[in-house]
Structure 1
């Protein structure tokens, strides 16, 4: 039905049952033939919804009234839930989250790759679903997100913020008081940095005008207890930089690596920026399975350390190494998987686009006395050529862990040409993984499937698939 308000015509759809949850984390309902995606809805809810966007075959909506709450519902534990862009599934019980992640992977593989999922293995949940991340990046802003309580007299209102972007608003930052994603000293560090900046009059970055002293704050922690802090400045004087750095050094002796970057570009990427170490090392160490890994401010490392260990153990198990295999590790990053499996095989050849990641991979091999790895930096489709394979040998096993976009079609074609006995495909996007599996079906069959939850309270899920070469 519809009803009129002073602001115009508002469409209300009454008594909709939420029947599913979409990959982006919104509840799914149907009104006749119209598919409705409902923000913050949980399967099993019965709700009235207000449409906020309507297309030909689907609409987006928000809950106007919750008539019957789902049995899967639970109270969100974070005060920022609903505005912050993270942890969008906090209002759903964790067992239910795992169930729907499993179903989303299953549906993608069935629909897009026509894979038989009857033997799909149970999803592996995360032992910790709070304080599980080892890295967070916060943004400074002089125009924080204002909620309804702030909409009165704004003359004395503090508008500076240090926190996360509000979804859909690149220029609005939600000022975070307590975040449940990263363990201490993360929250204390962030709040103390904000407090210092406000006391000393340092300016927070203006995301539209591109001016201000303070731009970003990155905090990395490790399972070994080490802490890395990097402050990204924009237009601060050196005396201001030194002041904040010295404050952190004196007040947080647990910081292992204290660094800063001056970034005056109009984007936040730091990979092309110089990093200055103010105190301590320029890196921290992570440990996994008896191996040490060097982590720099620009290094790629799975952000859920404990669950990454489980993911890599599954990858190794799926490969079923006997000890004499030549392994290609595609999209190797900092060589974490390559070094993790190296002691179980004859040799690992790792390929990665980012040169600094390859330097980390080589360092990690040397640090762990691993001498059977070789790493190459460059675009996968340019490096993985017939000549490359002729030089290094045909692999027995290929491990591939591409970005969300999946593998380039030319890389898939090269895999089909190589005809390795096994491919272990690790993916953070079941849809693009399914697209690639559909192409690989020409010569490979799916032998095992196991989802792994790396990011509790979000819609994201990793999936590991074992492919075996079809024999004539």
Structure 2
């Protein structure tokens, strides 16, 4: 037998009892002392698996046959589940998904930060389908698969999955993937169009086409007709994000409303906005409630973006000082403050991963701090936050491990107590865990 033939020999199958879920939502069990990670399985299930990757201490595997099913298992709504890499938990019911995410948070806090919250917050939940208002769709012209593919990557592979719809994207886009593919098939630059950015506002849905070659006049007409037919605002991006421009001069300014705070926030198609509009509104309400903001309070908000928290905060506080690292977002934040009559917001630009020691806002006493950092967390700012003398901190996190690390520092080094922590289901059916934690100054 040749070496090539030996490499192609099918991997031996095995049977495993699933005991837990790993952080990527794969079921995990043990066979002969080795961990086996099996996609699409749940705790309590027995499965026949086929290894896809073998290492000395663990194996990764695909599910072949389910011998016994968990009572928490449900039928996935999406026909592409298991092929498309966009979702990992559609086979688990809502409560099972929330239990998994909450356990990920609490385990990280205990294991990494050596802390436990006094109170575990009830999960924030909202719509579970058609919720995703921001997305980056891959595009690839593949004649052997019938033409253009539009969608997310395949699970565990770099290829674009062959999709006809997506159940988690906002419906106006999720039901139009085949139409998008047909549109691009008819463009002269179909092989030079690698992605589409989706940005759904309350008043419009923007599609940003990344174009590596200049569209012809016929291409532009085809794009214009598509936008008019399906009520999309079409944008083109020939270079970096600064080159994004609307196809038509009458494209509406994008915005979303926060009715509870009498606020309307404007943004550009490439700006960061929270993925799930319903969870975003609930997150703002809970954060401000847990901050316990009073009319005489001065609030510092870090990683403040375009005003998502700061405009509502300004309705409650005496003064809100915001700091964000991206100039464009700060410009939008100032404009949103002006549009919403929030003249008690003071917005600054600064690199919060290299805090400027001479910045005035670094040395002002504040009563409350709200932070919403990226996945890397806020380690570089913890000392400065503690130095403000803030009695209460609310930390919104998109990564449990970095929240846990920072929680350990705030509690162990800076004299805070972790009073509350809980998850926010910003990304239903995925393994992504968003959470909120509250820290109160001891004494």
TM beyond 0.5: yes
The yes-or-no answer on 1:133 pairing with 2:136 is no
Matched residue, 1:332: 304
Of 323-332 and 376-385, more deviation after overlay is shown by 376-385
Matched residue, 2:328: 356
Distance 1:311 1:201, change over 3 A: closer
- The structural deviation recorded for 1:178 is 1.0
Provide structure 2 residue ranges, at least 5 long, that are not aligned to the other structure. Answer: none
- The structural deviation recorded for 1:58 is 2.4
Looking at structure 1, the residues matched to 146 and 17 of structure 2 have their Cα atoms a distance apart, in angstroms, of 41
- The structural deviation recorded for 1:249 is 4.2
- The structural deviation recorded for 1:277 is 4.4
Looking at structure 1, the residues matched to 375 and 152 of structure 2 have their Cα atoms a distance apart, in angstroms, of 22
- The structural deviation recorded for 1:99 is 1.1
Looking at structure 1, the residues matched to 249 and 137 of structure 2 have their Cα atoms a distance apart, in angstroms, of 21
- The structural deviation recorded for 1:454 is 0.9
Looking at structure 2, the residues matched to 307 and 98 of structure 1 have their Cα atoms a distance apart, in angstroms, of 14
Q: Secondary structure at the match of 1:173?
A: coil
Q: Secondary structure at the match of 2:206?
A: strand
Looking at structure 2, the residues matched to 76 and 360 of structure 1 have their Cα atoms a distance apart, in angstroms, of 39
Matched residue, 2:141: 142
CA RMSD of aligned residues (A): 2.3
Looking at structure 1, the residues matched to 154 and 162 of structure 2 have their Cα atoms a distance apart, in angstroms, of 10
Could you list the per-position Cα deviations for residues 343-376 of structure 1 after superposition, in whole angstroms to 9, with x for gaps in the alignment? 1001111111111111111111111111011111
Distance 1:242 1:390, change over 3 A: closer
The yes-or-no answer on 1:84 pairing with 2:70 is no
The yes-or-no answer on 1:275 pairing with 2:217 is no
The yes-or-no answer on 1:313 pairing with 2:314 is no
Looking at structure 2, the residues matched to 381 and 238 of structure 1 have their Cα atoms a distance apart, in angstroms, of 43
Could you list the per-position Cα deviations for residues 326-356 of structure 1 after superposition, in whole angstroms to 9, with x for gaps in the alignment? 1111111112111121110011111111111
The yes-or-no answer on 1:180 pairing with 2:167 is yes
Looking at structure 2, the residues matched to 34 and 168 of structure 1 have their Cα atoms a distance apart, in angstroms, of 22
- The structural deviation recorded for 1:470 is 1.7
Of 414-423 and 303-312, more deviation after overlay is shown by 414-423
Looking at structure 2, the residues matched to 322 and 38 of structure 1 have their Cα atoms a distance apart, in angstroms, of 50
1:209-228 counterparts in 2 under 5 A? Answer: 212=192, 214-222=193-201, 224-228=202-206
The yes-or-no answer on 1:397 pairing with 2:360 is no
Contact kept in structure 2, 1:259 and 1:282, CA below 8 Å: no
Looking at structure 1, the residues matched to 429 and 162 of structure 2 have their Cα atoms a distance apart, in angstroms, of 20
Matched residue, 1:417: 387
Contact kept in structure 1, 2:137 and 2:197, CA below 8 Å: yes
Q: TM-score, normalised by structure 2?
A: 0.92
Query: Which of these residues, 154, 160, 170, is aligned with residue 148 of structure 2?
Result: 160
Distance 1:449 1:386, change over 3 A: farther
The yes-or-no answer on 1:204 pairing with 2:182 is no
Distance 1:25 1:139, change over 3 A: same
Looking at structure 2, the residues matched to 388 and 175 of structure 1 have their Cα atoms a distance apart, in angstroms, of 53
Looking at structure 1, the residues matched to 135 and 166 of structure 2 have their Cα atoms a distance apart, in angstroms, of 10
Q: Secondary structure at the match of 2:426?
A: coil
- The structural deviation recorded for 1:282 is 5.4
Distance 1:217 1:240, change over 3 A: farther
Distance 1:51 1:104, change over 3 A: same
Could you list the per-position Cα deviations for residues 275-333 of structure 1 after superposition, in whole angstroms to 9, with x for gaps in the alignment? 24424335311101221010211111111001100011111011001111111111111
Provide structure 1 residue ranges, at least 5 long, that are not aligned to the other structure. Answer: 145-153, 206-211, 264-269
1:14-29 counterparts in 2 under 5 A? Answer: 14=15, 16-29=16-29
Q: Secondary structure at the match of 1:260?
A: strand
Matched residue, 1:147: none
Matched residue, 1:148: none
Higher relative contact order (CA 8 A, sep 6+): 2
Contact kept in structure 2, 1:245 and 1:278, CA below 8 Å: no
- The structural deviation recorded for 1:469 is 1.1
Contact kept in structure 2, 1:385 and 1:414, CA below 8 Å: no
Q: Secondary structure at the match of 1:169?
A: coil
Matched residue, 1:438: 408
Of 374-383 and 322-331, more deviation after overlay is shown by 374-383
Distance 1:56 1:271, change over 3 A: same
- The structural deviation recorded for 1:98 is 0.8
Of 228-237 and 426-435, more deviation after overlay is shown by 228-237
Matched residue, 1:191: 178
